[in-house]
Amino acid sequence: MKRYYDPESGGFYLSTVHQEIPQRAVPITLEEHSALVRALEQGKVIQLDENGHPIAVEPPALPEPTEQELTQQRIIEIQQLLTANDSASVRPLRAKAAGTATDADKARLVELETQAQALRSELVALTNPESFEDQSQPEQSFTKQSFLKKCNWLRMGKN
């Protein structure tokens, strides 16, 4: 039984199984086939060497996300956090509406609203930075630049 690797499809072919083997397919040994399959399982990719023979190599590094991609990721994250914030507000709001709210319920509502306001401010800054730059308290403003700096910091594991 002969084994082949086709660089165009990235597939392996066996002469006893496949009736048609692509012309561009490269013959490989059982040992090479096994090694290539193990390498694929470990996250490597197969490419052809200078002689046209398949070899396993580390995949190319993923490109760094663009500013626009990071911004979009953060917008989605903020929207999810706001939804979670709304869900967390339901119980203390019910207690308040029923007149049974405790001091802890009231404090929790204040805390959740403070968080929500900060998230909404950041969302405004990310979706419309020009209208947000005129804030009177610049140390609390969120800009794309400060957001990107935070993303890079978190990506390096410094949270």
Mean pLDDT of 26-34: 95
Structure tokens at 17: 């199984």
Q: Of 77, 79, 85, 62, give the one whose Cα is nearest residue 154.
A: 77
CA-derived radius of gyration, the chain: 28
pLDDT band for position 138 (cuts 50, 70, 90): very low
Q: For residues 62 and 146, which has the higher predicted lDDT (pLDDT)? A: 62
- Residue % of the chain over a pLDDT of 70: 81
Residue 149 reports pLDDT greater than 80:
no
- Average pLDDT over the chain reads 86
Residue 71 has pLDDT above 90, yes or no: yes
What pLDDT score does 136 carry? 45
88, pLDDT greater than 90: yes
> Is the pLDDT reported for residue 37 higher than 80?
yes
**Res. 152: pLDDT tops 60:** no
Percent of the chain with pLDDT over 90: 75
SS3 19: coil
Structural domain boundaries in the chain: 3-57, 67-155
Instruction: List, for residues 97-131, the tens digit of each pLDDT value.
Output: 999 999 999 999 999 999 999 999 999 999 886 65
Report which residue type is found at 110. V
Residue 48 clears pLDDT 50, i.e. is over it = yes
Nearest to 78 by CA among 141, 111, 125: 125
Determine the pLDDT at residue 129. Answer: 64
Q: Give me the pLDDT at residue 31, please.
A: 95
CA 4 to chain CA mean position, Å: 36
Integer Cα distance of 159 and 86 in angstroms: 25
State the alpha helices, DSSP H only, in 51-143. 67-98, 103-127, 129-132
pLDDT surpassing 90 at residue 142: no
